[in-house]
Chains A and B, each alone.
Chain A
């Protein structure tokens, strides 16, 4: 009887969440998957065309560029973001005079609304009056850096523009940082004192104590960041680089889907691109998971 009651309570408490999940996530997901097999322009009714969309995607050079851009972005940005958040957390977890201010500063960029953040960077990266370029040009002549080289052309050079999008993503690590900070603070202090008595170096402590103790959380954050990284790129690419420089240097899959759907009104095609992105995300997470499990099994032997 008690068990029945417990279950009923559980069901009641879960109901609002499950309802939201169904209406807002699962249903659109199902619709997207179905639309991926149709041709649909929002005006005429969807027409079933089988796997034609996917065949077309495979041959679409723009989509391929977007795919490579997305993967490259994730491969570079995710490890960098985690490394920076972890470094900051390890650096700032102690009580000291400036740690509080520094912690706030580390979290602050993540609190800026995305559009405002994008517009801010549009100014920061401006080749003429943007402060970043000005700093880089300081001491140099004729608009060159001290070393006589052209400063990065953030908005017009394909490679520099990709770097700019990654650079922008490196400052929105507030959440990851806060989690890692809390985890580091929850580690037992006497374990660190023992390490001090054994004259363990900072590197030993990091490698043999901090890293293994924080690893479960780091794995979760890595997976989370990998999932989110494909979305991080959307707004900066839209607002700051507009998918360019031409032809498609910073067109990532989300931006590709967005343009295809809302500018070219090719809903079915966009849905197919989204489905591919989803499949890629799942594959990436599964791969990370397996690698880590294998690593763990090896280590525990």
Chain B
């Protein structure tokens, strides 16, 4: 893994007069799988479309490998895209769907068919080649779309929420296959999703987006352990990270004096419920198999979520005590940026 797979430098884009990407800088290493994560409307798909050339960048440059593609039309960028809808041609067989890109580029028909068969075999849809999209299930269509994307051996894969139309079980399964496929092919990939689990599982690095800007780019570990902003901290993790004023009733043991307006955050797993610490009222308890999620109310009215073993869960309405270790605590300044205490 070396060299640049994709580079965006100061890229902005607008949709119907509204700026939806604000001077985004992003570098993806060759062979890397980058997941763009964010809520709907964050500009993830726009980012992908600008890279693909389906939408123009109003400022900045886009480079794929060592080529500046900013002004190239989509067909000249050598990228493949899997659309959320899969965008299969309903009137063509699976084979003709896969060979479409090769045929319009004048690849001999026999060669195109061989490569289609090979690509179909890789994603496990070789037995579907003579069917039409209308006869396929959602998962099968997704495979065909993948086969079509990889058959041309592009420099860059763009996947726009490729798993969002699959049911839960199939999504988990396909997620694993996507990861394996990426390891096998080694093509630089940008994968857009709003599903944090998908991002954490798949990504070499995650780029968290919000309102047309990148909040943080880092490995899944970095995103999880050292979220750069409150937004990242709360967007990744379920239930989201608890955030309280630093001068509130719950003070992690060993917390130094923090600047005014600072906020502390800690994940539901970090809270210890027991005999000592701050008094809290148990408002609600959700049990999910072995785990229980308790929602606790502090004296000042703030609520926190806590994850604990289902066997040791407190009863609703009772008052218990809880503590948080300083080591598990994140500190954010007034503007929501991570504060590193020296």
- Interface residues of chain A, those whose CB is within 8 Å of chain B, are 188, 190-191, 193-201, 204, 208-209, 212-213
Q: Is A194 a contact of B104 with CB atoms below 8 Å? A: no
A47 vs B255: C-alpha distance when bound (angstroms):
115
User: Hey, which chain A residues are within 8 Å of B54, CB to CB?
Assistant: 193, 196-197
Q: Is A213 a contact of B91 with CB atoms below 8 Å? A: yes
User: Hey, which chain B residues are within 8 Å of A190, CB to CB?
Assistant: 83, 85, 87
Binds A, one of B74-82, B112-120, B221-229: B74-82
A195 vs B80: C-alpha distance when bound (angstroms):
11
Within 8 A of A (CB), among B50-103: 52-54, 73-77, 79-81, 83, 85, 87-92, 100-101
Which 6 A/B pairs are nearest by Cβ-Cβ distance?
A199-B75, A198-B101, A190-B87, A200-B104, A212-B91, A196-B74
User: Hey, which chain A residues are within 8 Å of B77, CB to CB?
Assistant: 197
Q: Which of B52, B85, B90 is A197 in contact with, Cβ under 8 Å?
A: B52
Interface range, B side: 20 to 34
Q: Which of A193, A200, A212, A213 is B87 in contact with, Cβ under 8 Å?
A: A193
User: Hey, which chain B residues are within 8 Å of A209, CB to CB?
Assistant: 89
Q: Which of B53, B87, B91 is A194 in contact with, Cβ under 8 Å?
A: B87
* A208-B104, A209-B89 as given contacts; A199 in contact with B76, CB under 8 Å: yes
Residue of A nearest to B84 (CB): A190
User: Hey, which chain A residues are within 8 Å of B52, CB to CB?
Assistant: 193, 197
User: Hey, which chain A residues are within 8 Å of B105, CB to CB?
Assistant: 198-199
26 example contacts (A-B, Cβ-Cβ < 8 A) are as follows: A190-B85, A190-B87, A191-B87, A191-B88, A193-B54, A193-B74, A194-B83, A196-B54, A197-B52, A197-B53, A197-B77, A197-B79, A197-B81, A197-B101, A198-B75, A198-B101, A198-B104, A198-B152, A199-B73, A199-B74, A199-B75, A199-B104, A199-B105, A200-B75, A208-B100, A209-B89
Given contacts A191-B87, A193-B52, A194-B87, 7 further A-B contacts (CB under 8 A): A190-B85, A193-B54, A193-B81, A196-B53, A197-B80, A198-B101, A208-B89
User: Hey, which chain A residues are within 8 Å of B79, CB to CB?
Assistant: 197
User: Hey, which chain A residues are within 8 Å of B88, CB to CB?
Assistant: 191
User: Hey, which chain B residues are within 8 Å of A208, CB to CB?
Assistant: 89, 92, 100, 104
Q: Is B90 a contact of A194 with CB atoms below 8 Å? A: no
A196 vs B52: C-alpha distance when bound (angstroms):
10
User: Hey, which chain B residues are within 8 Å of A200, CB to CB?
Assistant: 75, 100, 104
User: Hey, which chain B residues are within 8 Å of A198, CB to CB?
Assistant: 75, 100-101, 104-105, 152
User: Hey, which chain A residues are within 8 Å of B81, CB to CB?
Assistant: 193-194, 197
* A201-B104, A208-B104 as given contacts; A196 in contact with B75, CB under 8 Å: yes
Q: B149: shortest Cβ distance to chain A, in Å?
A: 9
Q: Is B104 a contact of A213 with CB atoms below 8 Å? A: no
A196 vs B54: C-alpha distance when bound (angstroms):
8
Q: A90: shortest Cβ distance to chain B, in Å?
A: 17
Residue of B nearest to A192 (CB): B87
Residue of B nearest to A187 (CB): B90
Q: Which of A188, A191, A193, A204 is B104 in contact with, Cβ under 8 Å?
A: A204
Residue of A nearest to B160 (CB): A190
Residue of A nearest to B83 (CB): A190
A208 vs B104: C-alpha distance when bound (angstroms):
9
Residue of B nearest to A209 (CB): B89
User: Hey, which chain A residues are within 8 Å of B152, CB to CB?
Assistant: 198
Q: Quick one: which of A193, A194, A200 has the most chain B CB within 10 A?
A: A194
User: Hey, which chain A residues are within 8 Å of B91, CB to CB?
Assistant: 212-213
User: Hey, which chain A residues are within 8 Å of B85, CB to CB?
Assistant: 188, 190
A212 vs B100: C-alpha distance when bound (angstroms):
14
* A191-B87, A191-B89 as given contacts; A197 in contact with B104, CB under 8 Å: no
Q: Quick one: which of A195, A198, A212 has the most chain B CB within 10 A?
A: A198
Q: Is B73 a contact of A196 with CB atoms below 8 Å? A: yes
Residue of A nearest to B80 (CB): A197
Q: Is A213 a contact of B90 with CB atoms below 8 Å? A: yes
User: Hey, which chain A residues are within 8 Å of B89, CB to CB?
Assistant: 191, 208-209
A190 vs B88: C-alpha distance when bound (angstroms):
9
User: Hey, which chain B residues are within 8 Å of A197, CB to CB?
Assistant: 52-54, 74-75, 77, 79-81, 101
Q: A192: shortest Cβ distance to chain B, in Å?
A: 9
A212 vs B89: C-alpha distance when bound (angstroms):
10
Q: B196: shortest Cβ distance to chain A, in Å?
A: 25
A74 vs B152: C-alpha distance when bound (angstroms):
46
A76 vs B1: C-alpha distance when bound (angstroms):
64
A201 vs B92: C-alpha distance when bound (angstroms):
18
A246 vs B299: C-alpha distance when bound (angstroms):
105
Q: B234: shortest Cβ distance to chain A, in Å?
A: 32
User: Hey, which chain B residues are within 8 Å of A195, CB to CB?
Assistant: 100, 104
Q: Quick one: which of B77, B83, B92 has the most chain A CB within 10 A?
A: B83
